[in-house]
Structure formats: C-alpha cells, structure tokens
A and B are shown apart, each in its own frame.
Chain A
Amino acid sequence: MATNLRKFNRFGSILTNHSNSLRRFSSPAASSGVLASADGQLLQSSKSINLYTAINQALHIALDSDPRSYIFGEDVGFGGVFRCTTGLADQFGKHRVFNTPLCEQGIVGFAIGLAAMGNRAIAEIQFADYIFPAFDQIVNEAAKFRYRSGNEFNCGGLTIRAPYGAVGHGALYHSQSPEAFFCHVPGLKVVIPRSPKEAKGLLLASIRDPNPVVFFEPKGLYRLAVEEVPEGDYTLPLSEAEVIREGSDITLVGWGAQLTTMEQACVDAEKEGISCELIDLKTLLPWDKETVEASVRKTGRLLISHEAPVTGGFGAEISASIVERCFLRLEAPVARVCGLDTPFPHVFEPFYMPTKNKILDAIKETVNF
C-alpha cells in the first residue's frame, strides 16, 4: 500500500478535517449504557483512531458482549491482511476467532449454519472482489433462509464483512465495488460506512441486526480516515441516511469512500455560489428513500456518485425511485457520476474514477440545466 498511501495523503487530511466538523449522528446511539446529549453527541470518552482500528473495536465489543459470537475468514487469525482482527484471537481464543480454509463459499455457508443455530457469525471475505464464489450462498441461501421456511429458520445473526473499492493500484481484482449485485437481493441488508465513527456504530448495528447483512468497508480509508471515535459500545441505525452537509441547490447522494470526493466537490461548488446538500446513504438495502426524497423536494436536483460502473449501479435505482416520486419537482435530469463501464483498470485508474472535478462539472451542468 506504500505508493497508494502517498497518493492518498492529500485527500486524507481533507477527510480528517471535514470529519471533525461534520460528523454528527443523525440519531442518538441506540445501545444502552451510552448517553446521548441533546444534539446526539455521545457522552463517552473518545479517541482519534483510523477506520481499521474502529472496525477492530467493534469486533472486540461484539465478541465481548455476546459469548455466542464468532469471527472467521481467510487469515483472520493473525489479524487479517488489513489488520482489522488484530489481537482478537489472543483475547477471545482460537475457537471464536479463527482462520478458515481458503474457500469463500465455505466461509459463507458455514456462517449461515452457525447463524441459523442462534449465533452471531461474523464472516470476513478478504476482498469484496473475492465474494463471488460465495454468491450462491449469499443470494440463494442467506437471503432466503427466513422466507422459504415460513420464518421457522433464519440466519439473521450473519454479517459478512468485505473490504471494497479503489486504492490506487488494485486493478481488476483488488478494487471493485460490488454492492449493486447484493442490492438486487430481497432479504439482505447492505451497509457501507464512510468513516471510523460510522464504521464502528454501523458494524455493531449490522452484527446485532436480526437479518443477514453484507457490510462493505472502504479499504482505501482503513488507515487514512482518522476521527474521534467513542471508545465504548454504541450502534448507529440501519436504513437511515444522514444529511452530512446541508444545501439548497442540489442533492448529492453517495456512500463509503466516495463521500470524501463528493465532499470536496461540494466545497468547490460553494466557492462558485452553488449550495450542495450531501447525503450519506449508509444502508443501501433497504434504503432510506424518505431522506433523499425530502432533500430533492427541497433542492429540485439530484446527483448520485459511486465507484462501481455506472450501468446497473445502485445509482440507477436511486435515480428511478426519485424520478417516480419527485418527477414534477425535478428541475434537471438526475446526474450520475460513477465508475466507467470497463473492468477496473490498473494504470488507467485515475481516468476511471468519478473524480472531484467530474462531480463538480456535473453539479454545474445540473444546476445550469
């Protein structure tokens, strides 16, 4: 990751800055033992940590707070290739935190069985790019376990974590954002956090949610995104989007690492007199249409941005839904600034990406339509 880190450092500082000023929980933390102040700010001690450490804390709490919880996957035992499971095997034992054989369909199938017995099964897929051997287990099994049995069985304790997204040099198979495939599957929840604080709260919520959740982690931010994160146990609500920047001219919707880029575009647009409202969708399935709809009713314009290829991406679903609900209020076509319809290329990555200026241009076009 060395080269990539250098590349990303210039973005890193921006993320850190804005995260300090902007991060407010849209609703108080749900977990008991955590106090929330009137504006939703948590009254517990917090430390400035990066995203993988926040994930590590969440996993730690998950194991600590429920003796029937397990964490496993390829290379998880020594801490995982992204260090998210560091120290967990030592503390909670090799029977609760362990390496599996190298087989994604096995990992998820095993996790479904474990979850079906009333456990919390937290499975790690090493890269989202390698989730596809498990696709059948996720789509045909996990997602339909409850429905097909008339609710006699369920695997709601299942959470599948997978690092996703661009890192600067990952090419075809260490860069993909496969969220849309899973958003096409009734019975699943799909969650993507944007920052350390969000990651911890959303992951704990996903683990405790009584439905199978696919949790994609923005691996480009594992080390780079740093913010104050409450040290204790807290959850953030699923299926609730958050307005992380208020504005009046256009609504921008995104999730995960892409919000960093979108945020920069909003800042630049503001300099040119355009007021952008930025929404972090957080949960892509089932998603919070109300929050997006309310925002578009206010601004009259919508732009969606994601790293995944534009065709068939989740942006298409948001666009269609908002057009259905806000057709007469829209003052311009819904804009999508996304990855291109090619496999994720190595040396062409800077061209492939939905960059800040691509977003900024689209903001201006939409506002001036």
Chain B
Amino acid sequence: MSISHWLTRIGGGNLIKKIICSSLTLSHYQATASSSFPFLIRRNEHKAIFAFCSSTNVAFFGARRYNSTKTEGQLLSESDDEDGSTLEEKQGFDFPGGKIAYTTKLNFLPASSEKRVQCYRVLDEDGYTILSNMSELVSKELALKVYSGMVTLNTMDKFLYEAQRQGRLSFYLTTYGEEAINLGSAAALSSDDIVLGQYREAGILLWRGFTVQDFANQCFGNNDGHGKGRQMPVHYGSKSLNFVTISSPLTTQLPQAVGMAYSLKMDKKDSCVVAFFGDGSASEGDFHAGLNFAAVMDAPVVFICRNNGWAISTPVTQQFRSDGIVVKGQAYGIPSIRVDGNDALAVYDVVRSAREMAINEQRPILIEAMTYRVSHHSTSDDSTKYRSVEEIEHWKTLHSPITRLRKWIGRNGWWSNKDESKLHGEATTQVKVAIDEAEKKKMPPLRDMFTDVYDELPLNLMEQETMLRETIQKHPKDFPNNMPL
C-alpha cells in the first residue's frame, strides 16, 4: 500500500500527506524509482516536494512532524491489509514514543531490502548527460571552476606526494579518485557553511580560497602555515574559510558537527554544517552518536560519507553487512541518498539539494558518495599488499571523475585541448613554486610550542620553556638549527 493510499484511508489530510512525503523525500524515491529514466522522473518529484518544503513555516513543520507523521509513518510499515485486523488494531497502542500497530504475523524485518539502494547519477562514464537539463543547472563558469579545481588538486597531490618520497616531507596523503566529491560538494555549499573534514577533503579548502602555497606551508610545517607546525602534513584548517582543522582521531568530527549545527540553528543562521567521513570511520561509535544527536536535535547538518571501498587494508565487506552507509540514516530518522561520487555534477546536485533541505527544514541529511580510493592510503601504505593492481587501474582509468567531467565540458564546447594543456602547465608551475617556497620559509618560533595549550601560558609551561632554553644554550647541537628560538 502506498503512503498516500493509506493516508486517505485513515483520513489524513493533504497537508499531512505532503509532510510525510517530504520527510521521506530522499530515501523514498531512491527506493521506488524504477522507470528506465528514473532520474528525470525523480527529479520532478523532488522539485515539487521541495517547493512545498521551502514555503512551509519551519516551526510549524517541525511540530507537525513530531505529532503525527513520524509515528504514523512507522505505523504504516507495520500495518497489514490482509491480516483482518480492525482499524483500531491497526492504529495500535500508544506506547511511549507513539502509536504502534499490532499484527498477528510473526515477521522479522529483513536484514536488508531486496534491491540495493540506487546511486544518483547525472553523467555516464563517457561524460554524456543522462539528465537533459544539466547545462541549465550548471553554468559554464561553474563547471570550469569545478574542473580546474579537480585538476589543480590532482596536480598538487602529485607533487606533494613526490616531495614526501624524496624525503622532503614527513607524510602525505592524496585525494586521487575522489576529486569529484571534493569539488562537486564544495561548489554546492555556501562559504558560510561550516565544513568538518576527515583528511581527504583538501579540495573543499582549495575551492574556498586556500592557496596551493597555504597547503604547502602546512605540509612543511613552516611559520606561514596555519597550525604553527604542530600537526602532521594534511591536517589543514582555516577559521576564515569555515573549515575546521583536521584531527587524526577518526569520526570525532561527527558529533562536533551536530553541536555546531545546533548553534547555527539557535542563531537562526541561513547556513549549515557539513561533515565528511569515510566508510571505515562510519564504524566508530561517534558515527552513531553523531547521527542520533543530529536527528534528535533537528540539527541542520549534512553528513557526507566518502565510501571509497577501503579503510587502509580493510575492504567494506569486512566493515559492515548493511547496504553501505546510506541505509543507516533511516534508522535514525534521517533522509538519506546515495550518489555516484565520481560524477561531479551528481555530487553537486545532491549536495545542493541536501543543503537546502538541511537549512529549510532544519534537519540532518545523510549522503553516501560511492567512489574508490585510487591512491595508497597514505605515504605509509603500499596497497598492492592487499588489493590487486588491476583493481586500482580499473578505477583509475575507467572511472576517473576528472576524465568524465572533462568529456562533458569538452562536448559542450566549453573546453579545448589548448585549455587543457594551459591548465596543466599553470597548475604544475604553481605547485612546484609553492613547494620550493614552502621549503625555504622560516620555521615557527620555539614559543609556538608552548602557546595555545591554553589561552595563556600557565606556570608549569613557563618553567618548562625557561628550562628548555637553558638546555638549548648548553647543547645547541642537539636541536635543529633551522628553528627560530
């Protein structure tokens, strides 16, 4: 029985019907789309529902959702036409938390639905649009900016990775294969949206104006780098760009994102928080804490999972038995969607919609972006120990998000081979210069070791700084000579 059919039978009004539909929006039409042109149909549905959401008073909307639709939505799935129960039995008993219908059928919910949740996609592998109106949605200017960002990110990765191999950097980690998630989502957000990354999201910062020089400075830990040389390379952050500094312990950013989103909500801001995490990180307790808090607090936060198939050497088959991450949203009451993470336009489209929903409806959204970690986990890893070179090559060549977008912009007549070589040339020069510069720059002063532990230096640190300076004077050879004292 469909939602609307059921609502009509129990006498639910049109308004409630729409509310239910919209509260189920993303996951609902993922599951039901089956026509041969699913994207077109789903898109229109989406737009219609969306228009309704945006024009609805948020406070009113929130209240109605709690009083009726959430429990009734759940009731629906339990009730059964053919079991001969009365309407009263169907409406069920008022358990704390809402009415639950009774059934005489001993049915376990299946471990997963028969079909895997589909993956929203706009461009096919050859860069042909499946949706006809894509060039209306994405302007030439936007597309080229996204594309240039992807190429620049890729170039930066290439040279900084190489710098690590040469022993100039202590560590590095690339975003190979995940450029579309990076730039596609960055383009869909407003610069007021606060981003909390995991570590493979440098493209967001790049989009927001973190320069290649800024990246190189952080990696070399020099005095111009954000972070004062305290963290390992790739632990970027920028207050002015609303990008919270990366922390190595995984998934800690998820509950934090909810707290930040709640603050935006209380301040009635027209922006949201976006938190990125990996398929592996979704196994941490903080993932569950984060999603549940977000749902309960009605926090405007968009969770974006980069499902790249691997967590270091652990494949997703050993990470979870669910249909990926996307299905976990529903259990927490969070609208969720799966997107082709190697399709920059699809990522853009989904994140843009999710952002609007998060802000207009004041609620969390979960996105699972399907992709592949083309690189080794990091410079500390050799992934050929646990996966085949063929598998890597397959994704690198056949599913390259960069190639796919390149084909599309080329086909639109927006990009020529000349543009391509110019972009590559410029990016290469820019990155090489930045690395050389970063290497030459002054290191942070010794003082920076002691500051920022607290807002001001406590006594123990003052003493320790004094003692350390005495030691340095006595044994200057014990310490690096490139650090300003």
Contact = CB atoms under 8 A, between A and B. Distances in A.
Contacts of B110: none
A132 B285 CA distance: 12
Given A4-B170, A102-B250, 6 more contacts: A74-B311, A74-B314, A130-B249, A340-B468, A357-B471, A361-B471
A265 to B, nearest CB: 12
Given A173-B249, A346-B232, A347-B444, A103 B449 contact: no
B407 to A, nearest CB: 35
B283 A345 contact: no
Contacts of B483: 347-348, 351
Interface string B132-174: 0000000000000000000000000000000000010011000
Nearest to B460: A341
A167 B432 CA distance: 28
Contacts of B449: 340, 342, 345, 348, 351-352
Interface residues of A, number: 48
A67 interface: no
22 contacts: A75-B311, A77-B313, A81-B313, A98-B318, A99-B313, A102-B283, A102-B319, A106-B283, A130-B249, A132-B249, A168-B170, A172-B232, A173-B248, A343-B230, A348-B446, A348-B448, A348-B483, A350-B478, A350-B480, A351-B446, A352-B449, A355-B471
B385 interface: yes
Q: Tell me which of A104, A106, A341, A347 has the highest count of chain B C-beta atoms within 10 A of its own C-beta.
A: A347
Contacts, number: 137
Nearest to A98: B318
A79 B313 CA distance: 10
A101 B318 contact: yes
A103 B289 CA distance: 13
Contact of A361 (B170, B444, B474): B474
Interface of B: 167, 170-171, 221, 229-232, 235, 247-250, 280-281, 283-286, 311-314, 318-320, 380-381, 385-386, 443-444, 446, 448-450, 453, 460-461, 464, 468, 471-472, 474-475, 478-480, 483
A92 interface: no
B478 A172 contact: no
Nearest to B443: A347
Given A75-B314, A105-B285, A357-B471, A348 B229 contact: yes
A342 B232 contact: no
Interface string A147-187: 00000000000000000000011111110000000000000
A78 B232 contact: no
A129 interface: yes
B313 A345 contact: no
B208 to A, nearest CB: 24
Given A129-B249, A173-B249, A357-B474, A102 B232 contact: no
B478 A355 contact: yes
Interface in A314-369: 340-343, 345-348, 350-352, 355-358, 361
Contacts of B229: 345-348
A171 B460 CA distance: 21
Contact of B453 (A1, A170, A341, A351): A341
A270 B448 CA distance: 36
Given A342-B453, A346-B221, A347-B483, A102 B311 contact: yes
B231 A346 contact: yes
A347 B230 contact: yes
Contacts of B283: 101-103, 106
A17 interface: no
- Top 3 closest pairs, chain A to chain B, by CB: A169-B170, A173-B248, A347-B229
Contacts of B480: 350
Interface string A99-113: 101111110000000
A333 B319 CA distance: 53
Contacts of B475: 355, 357
Contacts of B320: 101
Contacts of A93: none
A133 interface: yes
A348 B171 CA distance: 16
